[in-house]
Amino acid sequence: MQLTLYTDYSLRVLIYLSLNRHRTSTISEIADFYQISRNHLVKVVHNLSQKNYIISTRGKGGGLVLADDPKTVNVGKVIRDTEPNFHIVDCFNETTAPCSVEPLCKLKGILGAATDQFFQVLDQYYVSDMLADPETGEAIISFDPKISNFLAQSEEEANG
Amino acid sequence: MQLTLYTDYSLRVLIYLSLNRHRTSTISEIADFYQISRNHLVKVVHNLSQKNYIISTRGKGGGLVLADDPKTVNVGKVIRDTEPNFHIVDCFNETTAPCSVEPLCKLKGILGAATDQFFQVLDQYYVSDMLADPETGEAIISFDPKISNFLAQSEEEANG
């Protein structure tokens, strides 16, 4: 069971811009940071901009910023807005021929109820919750240098 | 968000064998019924047999039958047993390089909790529930001719 790479990258962009929300960022910088394809990110950023999650400005001093406070950006809504469909199995797909057993099969309803519960959890969280300090419950919002030190320290600890 | 075709077809095989559980069935017959690839089904049936969901016997009078009463075959367990992984996003995949933001990101925990809720629904259902008559709550277990009449009738109604 997977969400698309498109949704994965959309969440990563929102996380990055939350961590760097007091300045503008660029697509290349985000691609470098996550070591992911710049071409993929172009489409992801375009979609996030069209759906008003981020503001993209061109020219000198331009770049990407979050459109809203990460405390108000709901994780469930982001995933609904970025995932191309929720065809958990093929019988959800109305463009394909109906399954031979569909008239008497209840699987679709059961999987639909399960998906609703999946989103009931996600709807409780905001982008800021993805970055909250578990000790204080406070959002970690400044990425550099506090977070880069934190990352370096975590890496040192992991390497013993 | 999708389950693999592998899981989709596994559920269809169990449904078909539940509807025809008083006789043996063949892979070709199931492929014809659902109009799906016989080659795909060979692998699906092999896996279901290895995991003791079905019994496959060779030779004259051989074929496929359900190993257990559909009332005892849990839908959540089937999906856990057939889906290759639950890497909802890439940070669940331990074989790829860790995400740069992982040390401070809570997304994995949030998506993990959502997936748990997804399964909490599925764990309440059995294969027999996928085929229960909503009027009587009784499982529809004989496929031919009762179900084929039912299918024909439903199709007529749908076509007005």
Residue-wise burial string across A117-139, b where 16 or more C-beta atoms lie within 10 A, e elsewhere: bbbebbeebbbbbbbbeeeeeeb
List of chain B residues whose C-beta atoms are within 8 Å of the C-beta of residue A35:
97, 100
Best residue of B30, B89, B151 to probe chain A, by most A CBs closer than 10 Å: B89
Weakest mean pLDDT among A118-122, B16-20, B33-37, B98-102: B98-102
pLDDT of residue B87: 83
| CATH, domain A5-158, list 3.10.150.10, 1.10.645.10, 3.40.1500.10, 1.10.10.10 | 1.10.10.10
Task: Please tell me which residue of chain B has the smallest CA distance to A118.
Answer: B114
pLDDT of residue B73: 95
Q: What is the average per-residue pLDDT within B126-144?
A: 66
Cis preceding linkage at A84, omega within 30: no
Cβ–Cβ contact A136 with B under 8 A: no
pLDDT of residue B145: 47
- The answer to whether residue B52 scores a pLDDT higher than 70 is yes
- CA gap B155, B27 in Å, rounded: 25
Cβ–Cβ contact B118 with A under 8 A: yes
Q: What is the average per-residue pLDDT within B49-56?
A: 96
Of B16, B83, B134, the CB nearest to A1: B83
User: How near does any CA of chain A get to the CA of B137, in Å?
Assistant: 12
Give CA torsion, residues A81, A82, A84, A88, to 10 deg: -80
Higher pLDDT, B123 or A141: B123
- The answer to whether residue A48 scores a pLDDT higher than 70 is yes
ipTM: 0.81
| CATH, domain B5-88+125-158, list 3.30.450.40, 2.60.40.420, 3.30.390.30, 1.10.10.10 | 1.10.10.10
The per-residue pLDDT for range A80-139, each reduced to its tens digit, is 999 988 888 887 787 877 778 777 788 888 999 999 999 999 999 999 998 866 555 555
Token pair belonging to B24: 């043996």
